[in-house]
Chain A
Amino acid sequence: MSALLQEPIEATDEPLAPVAVEDHRALRFLTAGSVDDGKSTLIGRLLYDSRAILADQLDMLERKAGGEAVDLSLLTDGLEAEREQGITIDVAYRYFATPRRKFIIADAPGHEQYTRNMVTAAAGSDAAIVLVDITKIDWAAGTVALLPQTRRHALLAHLLRVPSIVFAVNKIDALDQPQRAFEAVHAALQAFAANAGIAVAAILPVSALRGDNITRPLHADWYRGPSLLQLLEALPTTQERVDGSLLLPVQYVAREPGDHSDGTGHQPRTLWGRIAHGRVHVGEQVELFPSGQCAQVVALRRAGGAVEAAEAGQSVGLILDRQLDVSRGDWIGTPQTLLPAQRFGATLAWLDTEPAVIGRKYVVRHGNRWVQARIVSIGHRLDIGSLQSTDAHELSVNDIGHVVVELGQPLPLEPYAINRVAGSLIVVDPASNRTSGALLVSVVR
């Protein structure tokens, strides 16, 4: 090991930002790691230490252990088919809570179909924990060479724009000189991240096996940063912006319950949808897409009651001052702000065993609307094995590429980096109805 870093780690010494008082959402995070990185043990440890595991489940583990130390990784054991094959097939969701927060873990298997599973786990996640097995690092080379899987998992989380990326450097208990090893890996991770343009939320040393620095702080003079759980309690959930223009996809059009006969035969309708960004208030002027008609909001509904205003992330029902032609899939926004586009550039993660074919008609879902679409061109494909960009004419399962897409009708798209709702689409194969791909809008033309 080279003497890369003799200085103590400073980045993790920063005080943690407290969770915003209004932030009552559960933190959704995904865990990425390859077989034997200790991912299952890490999750088992979080569940165990936070008492999400109960006595009968523990009994089962103790029976299996047969007097040996309990194997926490068995807690995340899934389906019969998986146990038979000794692999995990699909993303599993786990839950635990501390007095400060509720957590949802999207546990993505690291080997088989990793892109497909990571995309599923990453969509909607607030954070990604990338497991780094410090015992697998080759120190002989003189400089620290990160494992391909570490780079792959981090890069995928980055491409899928998971807001907070955390490296958990695991098996720190297995080393004679944990400080020097951790510092070297820390530096290598930072160099890699800076090079790839990845913003790193934190790099922590942990031992999932012993529970060190997971829920209890690591008692070491070389590390004074937070434990993993402290960090998770403080990470922000993804909030869409509430300032600026309103954007809302119409989810469901309902008749207002009760008797509203005003003698004109005008039956009020409530236009329900979850606000993508901005706010809406009673009295506001709004524009509908695609009709382009404008109307005034005369009343707002929230679950079971009336409200004066609502903001991004909330589902709200709008009652307008006039009867307009509106249906599911339409959009409501601040007048003059809905800018429809029919062609866009995007990151496409391909999830189907049938490859993506240029020119073929697919159906895509954007907001609440299904439209036809085709891939016009594939700019380049990221080889997730070698991490090189290569030219490509098709995308196979687990490939990620940059594509240009043309839609059968214009839609109010926004870059995914600006808004997740207006910037995400799923691609469905109309022949099989399978969800074949995920599109993250990058450039709107």
Chain B
Amino acid sequence: MNAPLNIERLLPALDHKHLDWLEEEAIFILREVVAGFERPALLFSGGKDSCVVLRLAEKAFKNRIGGDQFKGRLPFPLLHVDTGHNFPEVIEFRDRRVAEMGERLLVGHLEDSIRRGTVRLADPLESRNGHQTVALLEAIEEHRFDCLVGGARRDEEKARAKERIFSHRDGFGQWQPKEQRPELWTLFNTRIRPDEHFRAFPISNWTELDVWLYLARENIPLPGLYYAHRRQVVRRRGLLVPVSKLTPLQPGEQSETATVRFRTVGDMTCTCPVESGAANAVDIVAETLTVTVSERGATRMDDRTSDASMERRKKEGYF
């Protein structure tokens, strides 16, 4: 088995000054986006990674000289692709944060793509995670975005481990892993043709632990479902599946009330919580230090389909 974990040994991580360095790098990338592109947008879902990127953007483009509040406005709009299957409390959080910050939010609705016929569902309750790509690419086309900033991290998944910080997408929004441009120093090659675009990932080099350390250090607000709460769940194939209208109990199943938190928040039909009593970001840091299951492994049904599920979705234009 793995080397035994010694909590005492790992606790200095809580004091990791390397966060300053990661912050420095991320802010540099965000300014590179704004300086290098004409119509960028920042993907904001209310999820924890996008909350981190949003705070980094505030630090990059606003200031709080002479007060606690950031002054100024971000030089790009926020964009969210709403599958219609998002957790209502996350959508409520998203709208509240955007209003508090005085930023502009654009929402691409998967329902609109279904109505247009560009997305066809085989089953009304199926996961809409993969279908997001269509709505995302339609939003890019509609608003003529040339760069989308996202909160993806290389430690999440093996296809992401190979992705560039500035990732080129062709006219179909496709990621072509074999055609990636070598990324040398910070001399990013962001040259594009008119119908192409880029995805930029300022927190590529962050791990899940770095994200929680930063959330704790910066006191960044998050939707409540990231912290311990009571919820109706059903145990299914080793995962805790939340019971909802979209994910009803199946014949013969018994639900139970458990104290859980979500480690990732995505489409309701494919995101599962873990059992946890962690009530705040510091508790979660402590728990992350002892955790034995990877973030996506514990919580995402969509990545379990095959070894290459993420890679295939990314090639089609997923983020």
Asked if B184 and A79 make an inter-chain contact with CB atoms under 8 angstroms apart, the answer reads: no
Given contacts A49-B3, A304-B59, A365-B187, contact A102 B16 (CB under 8 A): yes
Asked if B161 and A78 make an inter-chain contact with CB atoms under 8 angstroms apart, the answer reads: yes
Q: Is residue A425 contacting chain B, with contact meaning CB distance below 8 A? A: yes
Asked if B2 and A306 make an inter-chain contact with CB atoms under 8 angstroms apart, the answer reads: no
Other-chain residue from B64, B155, B187, B210 in contact with A305 (beta carbon distance below 8 A): B64
9-residue interface stretch from A33-41, A90-98, A188-196, A372-380? A90-98
Closest beta carbon of chain A to B214's beta carbon, Å = 13
Asked if A81 and B178 make an inter-chain contact with CB atoms under 8 angstroms apart, the answer reads: yes
Asked if B72 and A258 make an inter-chain contact with CB atoms under 8 angstroms apart, the answer reads: yes
Asked if B18 and A102 make an inter-chain contact with CB atoms under 8 angstroms apart, the answer reads: yes
Complex Cα gap A301–B60 (Å): 10
Closest beta carbon of chain B to A115's beta carbon, Å = 10
Asked if A79 and B177 make an inter-chain contact with CB atoms under 8 angstroms apart, the answer reads: yes
Complex Cα gap A25–B23 (Å): 11
Which residues from chain A contact B23 at a C-beta distance below 8 Å? Answer: 303
Asked if B205 and A434 make an inter-chain contact with CB atoms under 8 angstroms apart, the answer reads: no
| Complex interface residues of chain A between 67 and 105 (CB less than 8 A to chain B) | 77-81, 83, 89-95, 97, 99-102, 104
The residue in chain A whose Cβ has the minimal distance to the Cβ of B30 is: A252
| Complex interface residues of chain A between 196 and 240 (CB less than 8 A to chain B) | 215
The residue in chain A whose Cβ has the minimal distance to the Cβ of B165 is: A93
Closest beta carbon of chain B to A150's beta carbon, Å = 24
9-residue interface stretch from B43-51, B136-144, B274-282, B290-298? B290-298
9-residue interface stretch from B5-13, B121-129, B244-252, B264-272? B5-13
Other-chain residue from B22, B71, B183, B291 in contact with A257 (beta carbon distance below 8 A): B71
Which residues from chain A contact B118 at a C-beta distance below 8 Å? Answer: none
Which residues from chain B contact A215 at a C-beta distance below 8 Å? Answer: 3
Complex Cα gap A304–B180 (Å): 34
Given contacts A78-B161, A303-B60, A424-B187, contact A438 B182 (CB under 8 A): yes
Complex Cα gap A425–B60 (Å): 25
| Complex interface residues of chain B between 160 and 208 (CB less than 8 A to chain A) | 161-162, 177-178, 180-187, 189, 191-193, 204-205, 207
Q: Which of B62, B158, B159 has the most CB of A within 10 A?
A: B158
Please encode chain A, from 49 to 70, with 1 for each CB lying within 8 Å of some chain B CB and 0 for all others.
1110111111000000000000
Which residues from chain A contact B75 at a C-beta distance below 8 Å? Answer: 254
Complex Cα gap A97–B27 (Å): 22
Complex Cα gap A123–B183 (Å): 8
Asked if B9 and A80 make an inter-chain contact with CB atoms under 8 angstroms apart, the answer reads: no
Which residues from chain A contact B34 at a C-beta distance below 8 Å? Answer: 252
Closest beta carbon of chain A to B107's beta carbon, Å = 26
Complex Cα gap A124–B204 (Å): 15
Which residues from chain A contact B64 at a C-beta distance below 8 Å? Answer: 304-305
Other-chain residue from B5, B31, B158 in contact with A272 (beta carbon distance below 8 A): B31
Complex Cα gap A251–B73 (Å): 19
9-residue interface stretch from B86-94, B108-116, B221-229, B304-312? B304-312
19 new A-B contacts, CB < 8 A, other than A102-B18, A305-B63, are: A51-B2, A57-B297, A78-B158, A79-B177, A80-B311, A93-B154, A93-B162, A100-B12, A104-B205, A124-B185, A254-B75, A257-B63, A272-B31, A304-B63, A306-B65, A313-B24, A365-B189, A424-B184, A435-B184
Q: Which 9 A-B residue pairings sit nearest by Cβ, starting from the closest? A: A257-B72, A56-B297, A24-B17, A80-B308, A252-B35, A303-B59, A123-B184, A55-B292, A435-B181
User: B interface vs A, CB < 8 Å?
Assistant: 2-3, 5, 9-13, 16-18, 20-24, 27-28, 31-32, 34-35, 58-65, 70-73, 75, 154-155, 158-159, 161-162, 177-178, 180-187, 189, 191-193, 204-205, 207, 209-210, 291-294, 297-298, 307-308, 311-312
